[in-house]
Chain A
Amino acid sequence: MIDCQQVTKYYPLGSGRKKVLNEIDLQIRPGEHIGFLGRNGAGKTTLIKLIGGVELPTSGKIRRRMSVSWPLGFGGGFQGSLTGYDNARFIARIYGQNYNEIRGFVEEFTELGAQLKMPVKTYSSGMRARLAFALSLAIEFDCYLIDEVIMVGDANFHKKCHYELFEKRGDRALVLASHSPELIREFCDRALILHQGHGTIHHDVNEALEIYAAL
């Protein structure tokens, strides 16, 4: 269970500040799949970062009573100057996992081969997405936070993500920020629409997608 209470986030803007999220209340229960909908800049990524503990809310509380992955996106979670293998080693160390198992999974999932010996900054965005996915799927979490990243990559990558995330780990909670109506409709039980800082939760995903399309 993840419990967000009255979560508000400001960012500095010029000499003043901008309210990105305004008193968001949200509960994510084990096994639940929630889609975040919102236009560019509506605060989807910000809310995911706050839930993942990457940034802290200006006010309000977030309680995590299950293990939550780091937000899966293009950049975060690994370091560009290190190689793919070194990143895997680092993740294995800080999460107390066996490196050999993680390495095996990463090699198989990413299919990057010798590229894993190169610094991550030399990777294309599709390759980064593969590595990011592999690293976070290599650690078992109760809840995965996924920010757009599923959209990049080729058909083969989509198939693998689909299998690892929605079939093998279908019982885990999932937060999915996406602009793709198909993805949200197919995989989410509920949707949160973020608009002008406010969040409204919809239990009917189709209804939420209609509202989102009209924004």
Chain B
Amino acid sequence: MGTFISGWRIQRRVIGALMIRELVTRFGRENIGFLWMMVEPLLFAALVGFIWRYMKGPEEHGVSVIAFVASGYLPLTLFRYAVTRSVRIFTVNSSLMYHRQIKVLDFVFVRVLIEMIGTMMAYLFIAILLISLDEFPVPADLGLFLAGWTLYCLFTFALCLVLAPLSEMSDVLEKIMPVTTYVMIPFSGTFNMVSWLTPDAQKAMYYSPFVHGMEMMRQGIFGDRVDAQWDIKVPIAASLFFILIGLAMCRRVRRRLVVE
């Protein structure tokens, strides 16, 4: 028990130190610093939302187009940033292996955690702004929204845990990553609800782990105005599967990691 508690303390220290270091290196100390982390998703969600509004009209399937785009695009940025920045994360941070209390898993964990905080801040900001403009509903069920968000983040973390060691083993991954993340957008539930699709497509979407978290978030925001379909078993099972494989792969890559 004593070793567990001291281990936990070290772990918390390391995670905290890594997060501060990450924020300082990435955003610097000058001008608005780490607030940049939320500006980018914010701009994207807002601009895409407004463009769609003029292309498709203010509402689609009974919900505001801007609100719908924002609620889909913000989690997607989390996923895209987390995944892109997991590529070769061990090599990039290898100088930190000089300190034995830092483990390779911490890199992936910190990466996803930082994206989670940044996206959540952006989300909060954009939601308050849009609610005051009457373009975004007051969330119908905040608990359900947060549960969906947690599942979405869990699966993102699980995927990063596999992609990070995989990118160290093969250079091919780095090349195919952008196209893969682009192609997966239709399967992520980002810009449509499952219930808008044909029955065959709905069946296929059931197996996409992202969709369930996204549908939960949408129901949490829009309530009964959308017909959400979700099943927490799928993202949880998929996450556990990828975490197990990822842990084994991280261990293997760590053994062979060459540190300058």
* Residues of A participating in the B interface, judged by any CB pair closer than 8 Å: 11, 49, 52-56, 58, 68, 70-71, 75-79, 81-82, 86, 89-90, 93-96
B17's partner among A54, A56, A78, A93 (CB-CB below 8 A) is A93
Min CB gap B103→A, angstroms: 11
Min CB gap A201→B, angstroms: 25
- Residues of B near A81 (CB, < 8 A) are 25
Check A75–B16 contact: CB distance below 8 A: no
With known contacts A90-B21, A93-B13, A94-B13, A49–B99 Cβ distance under 8 A: no
Is the C-beta of B259 less than 8 angstroms from some C-beta in chain A?
Answer: yes
How distant is the Cα of A54 from the Cα of B13 in the complex, in angstroms? Answer: 19
Check B25–A52 contact: CB distance below 8 A: no
Count of B residues near A, CB < 8 Å? 24
- Residues of A near B249 (CB, < 8 A) are none
- Residues of A near B247 (CB, < 8 A) are none
Is the C-beta of B100 less than 8 angstroms from some C-beta in chain A?
Answer: yes
Check B21–A11 contact: CB distance below 8 A: no
Is the C-beta of B173 less than 8 angstroms from some C-beta in chain A?
Answer: no
With known contacts A82-B21, A93-B16, A94-B13, A77–B258 Cβ distance under 8 A: no
Check B95–A52 contact: CB distance below 8 A: no
- Residues of A near B182 (CB, < 8 A) are none
Check B99–A70 contact: CB distance below 8 A: yes
How distant is the Cα of A49 from the Cα of B94 in the complex, in angstroms? Answer: 13
Min CB gap A31→B, angstroms: 21
Check B17–A90 contact: CB distance below 8 A: yes
Min CB gap A123→B, angstroms: 15
